[in-house]
Amino acid sequence: MKKVTTLFFSLSIGLLLASCGNSDEEKKAAAAAAAGPQAYPVFTVNAQNTELGSEYPATIEGIQNIDIRPKVDGFIQKIFVDEGTVVKKGQLLFTIMAPQYEQEVRTARAAISSAEADVNSAQLQVNKTKPLVEKDIISKYDLDAAQLTLQSRKAALAQAKAALANAQVNLGYTSITSPVEGVVGSIPFRTGSLVSSASTEPLTTVSNTSKVYAYFSLNEKQLLDFSKTYKGNTLAQQMKNIPAVNLILADGSTYPQFGKIESINGQINTSTGSASLRATFPNAMSVLKSGGSASVRIPQHVSNAILIPQKSTIDLQGKKFVYVLGDSSKIISTEIEVMELAKDKFYVVTKGLKAGDKVVLEGFQSLKDGVKIKPEVKSTESVYAGIKK
């Protein structure tokens, strides 16, 4: 009997709590219905011309990076420049102490003096023999022999002069000058260091950075998109139609001067699956350094673009949705398609929206499709105010 009474009491308490719970939910629903639709910010979508920019990591190189190497063996006698010095073409950089080449010059000059004396002696012999032959005092054979001797002495003199020129060239290699105008790189050697023409490390590098090359890569898909974006029957024609590009520096700032894409490698690297491109930028103030890193930004103009704030979209199973305000202030969950490139914090919509549609701006996490809301209209100017032109 006690068990039956206890069971009856428990069931009574459960039914009472359930009725109270249902009552609370009904009260909340009734309160929400009495309060009316909830307010949400809404803005009107419009079409506008905009410019997108795709960025690609790049490495910077001077238009000339010349390794300065010794052509003769010896000790560094003097260094005339410091690292980072701007030098002109022909400016002296290093001198190498190599006395053997000075000795070769002296030896060659002495050989020339000896050869000149031999030539003079042979010439005298020819001059003495010639009239004797003409008077038939001696045979013509003697004159021929004297002339051959003179010819041999002249050849020896020419050889001695060539040896002197070669010795002077080698001696000239002991003074190393800059082949181009540019900036001196690191100098790993110091005065007194032994250097050789077989050394793997250069004395320094002179970089001509009056202009710089920015090298970057595009994968196969990007190359195909690239070729479809810019008109032209040939690659050269397409490159002419590519607009000027920007350079984004390592600190995030934009280089003040524009560059131009001048080269596209026609072959895809099989190991990386990409092709290399080269953009050229002026660098009169030497702001850009050879070996630096940056990003090349290629602009793309889009006419009558539908822009939507990224915060106004919902990602669901790999698709994007927005809430569009429909008739009777009811919202409609609408799927949209967007371009891969974004404009600041805005998506460029290619499908799903049109100019004049009203979209819920934000705060819609608890919304459901078909719910009636109270729209709070936001001005189009305030929504699109953050877009960079």
pLDDT digits (tens, 9 = 90+) for 250-289: 999 999 999 999 888 878 888 888 889 999 999 988 889 8
pLDDT score for 7: 40
| Domain shared by 306 and 296, yes or no | no
pLDDT digits (tens, 9 = 90+) for 320-367: 999 999 988 899 999 999 988 788 789 999 999 999 999 999 988 888
The CATH number of whichever domain residue 41 belongs to comes to 2.40.420.20
How many angstroms separate the Cα of 166 from the Cα of each of 107, 153, 179, 303, 330?
Answer: 12, 20, 21, 68, 94
Residue 13 in domain: no
> Considering the entire predicted model, what is its pTM?
0.61
The larger pLDDT score, comparing residue 124 to residue 235, is at 124
* Domain span holding position 251: 54-62+206-300
Number of alpha helices (DSSP H) and beta strands (DSSP E) in the chain: 6, 19
Across the range 204-215, mean pLDDT stands at 92
| Domain shared by 275 and 213, yes or no | yes
Across the range 224-248, mean pLDDT stands at 82
Residue 167 in domain: yes
| Domain shared by 309 and 247, yes or no | no
Does 55 score more than 50 pLDDT?
A: yes
| Domain shared by 183 and 222, yes or no | no
Mean pLDDT is lowest, of 102-106, 128-132, 133-137, 219-223, for: 133-137
pLDDT digits (tens, 9 = 90+) for 74-114: 999 999 999 989 999 999 999 999 899 999 999 999 999 99
| Domain shared by 150 and 190, yes or no | yes
Beta strand residue intervals within 226-330, DSSP E: 246-248, 260-264, 274-282, 293-309, 314-316, 319-325
Across the range 6-33, mean pLDDT stands at 48
Across the range 182-187, mean pLDDT stands at 91
Residue 200 in domain: no
How many angstroms separate the Cα of 326 from the Cα of each of 16, 205, 277?
Answer: 43, 68, 48
The larger pLDDT score, comparing residue 40 to residue 385, is at 40
Residue 341 in domain: yes
Q: Which of 282, 300, 318 is the last residue of a domain?
A: 300
| Domain shared by 77 and 164, yes or no | yes
Residue 9 in domain: no
Residue 370 in domain: yes
| Domain shared by 222 and 157, yes or no | no
Residue reference for tokens 């072959």: 267
Could you give the 3-state DSSP secondary structure of residue 330?
strand
Residue pair 51/300 in contact (Cβ under 8 Å)? The answer is yes
| Domain shared by 182 and 214, yes or no | no
The larger pLDDT score, comparing residue 306 to residue 5, is at 306
The number of folded domains in the chain is 3
Q: At 3, is the pLDDT very low, low, confident or very high (cuts 50, 70, 90)? A: very low
Name the strand (E) or helix (H) holding 149: helix 140-172
Across the range 297-318, mean pLDDT stands at 89
Q: Which of 273, 300, 327 is the last residue of a domain?
A: 300
| Domain shared by 191 and 216, yes or no | no
- Residue 237 corresponds to which tokens in the numbers above? 């024609």
Contacts of 362 (CB under 8 A, 6+ apart): 41, 309, 311, 312
